Structure 1
Amino acid sequence: MRRLAGELRRRWLLARAPAGPRRDFLAAPWPPGGLPCAAARYLALDLETTGGDPQQHEIVSLGWVCLDGPRIDLGSARRRIVRIAGAMSAESATVHAITDDEAAAGVPLDAALRELLAALAGRVLIAHYAPTERGFVDAACRRLLGGGIAIPAIDTLDIARRLMPPGQAPAPGSLRLGTLRRHYGLPRYPAHDALSDALAAAELFLAQLGAAPRPPTLAEWLA
């Protein structure tokens, strides 16, 4: 049902989108819902932002890496620091380890967004708490590219909940990216770096796929 609703929204947006990178992205159909997750193509994405509200806060950096089925393509890995409109707050600079000078030398969000959409077309997004990535990308498209976007996504946080034993509530902090990676015996990566967090989500997804009681289809795991 989620996939059908998303595909209908994609078609609705495509019919109204002018020529450009947003239309090019929307022109790529979503993968079939019956496709096994192990056979699909993905792009794991992480955004570092100045806050949690896509309407008020800015994207500081983007990191992504593509997967073809269970294979992570490290040659596709990208990290883009964005030239933000305002000054980098002391808190953001500390959390993301990006200085004002680095942010000032970054790429315009418009350029980073176009590059991301080109890489993401025809693929399924992987993110840890996907509403953040989808919300900020949609807001950026509305502001810079003339309209909203529809992105098929698998949320590794949501999948972690689904893989828990029936009736078991998650312990506080147990659904964090780093905690879940430790659960699966995955190595520790630096936090709050867009590319390392994207790679971390990609590896977590593959671990979850291997732990599933049976091979899932996209329709079963789409957020």
Structure 2
Amino acid sequence: MFDWLLNRAGSNAATEAQRWVVLDVETTGLDSGRDSLLSIGAVALIDGRIDLADSFEIHVRPPSVSSKDNVLVHGIGHGTQQRAADPKEALPRFLDYIGTAPLVAYHAAFDQAFLARAIKVQVGLPFSNPWVDLAELAPAALPKVAGEVGGKALDHWLSYFGIPVAGRHTAAGDALATAMLLQRVLHELPAAQRQNVRRLQALAGAGKWLGAG
């Protein structure tokens, strides 16, 4: 435990990444300043291939159980919430898992905001891994496809590519589906660009403007 602290001390994430971590979170609501994490799911891409053996899933105990309407979204019942790991245990385990890997999520700002706040409050450290937002990267990398997808939601992209989803709206299920979409997107990019964090961030930034209309 706390290997992440040694790995992070005085280091910056490498520009060229062999290991990416694709993740998703479930929460008690949509407000990162008020609501809490309920679960984190993640899976790694190693040299562009999904490695199911390199995956992570944990339920995080909230200060109080979420509403019944919220439970209907993610299926994490009150009993599971009450038995979940203490955040002070869960978040260091998550940080151990990701190490210094770049992180990918669909609409990443949501996941990043919840994780950064929880890590700052529970662990007392900033959350410094680089992020790439697949919701921005996909239309930038595949502009012609983006016009055919029919919407900007993750479900639209998954449906277009026929990507199966086991456990939609669970953190682990959504992380795996997002990872499969990321594979499709990276396949369309030049090999020299696929593992370059800064280039993908720049391309995703361009995709943000493409999707603004």
TM-score class normalised by the smaller sequence: 0.7 to 0.9
5+ residue gaps, structure 2, are 205-213
CA-based RMSD of the aligned residues comes to 2.4
Structure 2 residue 120 is the aligned partner of structure 1 residue 162 = no
Change (3 A) 1:139 1:22: farther
Matching residue's letter, 1:201: T
Alignment of 1:21-40 (within 5 A): 23-24=5-6, 26-27=8-9, 28-32=11-15, 35=16, 40=18
Asked if 2 retains the 8 angstrom alpha-carbon contact of 1:40 and 1:68, the reply is yes
What is the alpha-carbon distance in structure 2 between the residues aligned to residue 120 and residue 30 of structure 1?
Answer: 12
What is the alpha-carbon distance in structure 2 between the residues aligned to residue 107 and residue 70 of structure 1?
Answer: 31
Determine helix, strand or coil for the equivalent of 2:143: coil
Determine helix, strand or coil for the equivalent of 1:114: helix
Bigger Cα displacement from structure 2, 22-31 vs 193-202? 22-31
Matching residue's letter, 1:24: L
Determine helix, strand or coil for the equivalent of 2:71: helix
Matching residue's letter, 2:134: T
Alignment of 1:207-218 (within 5 A): 207-212=184-189, 214-215=190-191, 216=193, 217-218=196-197
Match of 1:103?
A: 81
Alignment of 1:188-199 (within 5 A): 188-199=165-176
Asked if 2 retains the 8 angstrom alpha-carbon contact of 1:191 and 1:197, the reply is yes
Match of 2:49?
A: 71
- Count of residue correspondences: 197
Q: 116, 119, 125: which is aligned to 1:147?
A: 125
Determine helix, strand or coil for the equivalent of 1:77: strand
What is the alpha-carbon distance in structure 2 between the residues aligned to residue 137 and residue 196 of structure 1?
Answer: 18
What is the alpha-carbon distance in structure 1 between the residues aligned to residue 149 and residue 49 of structure 2?
Answer: 32
Q: 178, 184, 189: which is aligned to 1:201?
A: 178
Structure 2 residue 103 is the aligned partner of structure 1 residue 125 = yes
TM-score normalised to structure 1 length: 0.79
Q: Give 1 or 2: higher helix fraction.
A: 2
What is the alpha-carbon distance in structure 1 between the residues aligned to residue 7 and residue 24 of structure 2?
Answer: 19
TM-score normalised to structure 2 length: 0.83
Match of 2:158?
A: 181
Determine helix, strand or coil for the equivalent of 1:80: strand
5+ residue gaps, structure 1, are 1-19
What is the alpha-carbon distance in structure 1 between the residues aligned to residue 132 and residue 20 of structure 2?
Answer: 9
What is the alpha-carbon distance in structure 1 between the residues aligned to residue 107 and residue 82 of structure 2?
Answer: 28
Asked if 2 retains the 8 angstrom alpha-carbon contact of 1:22 and 1:141, the reply is no
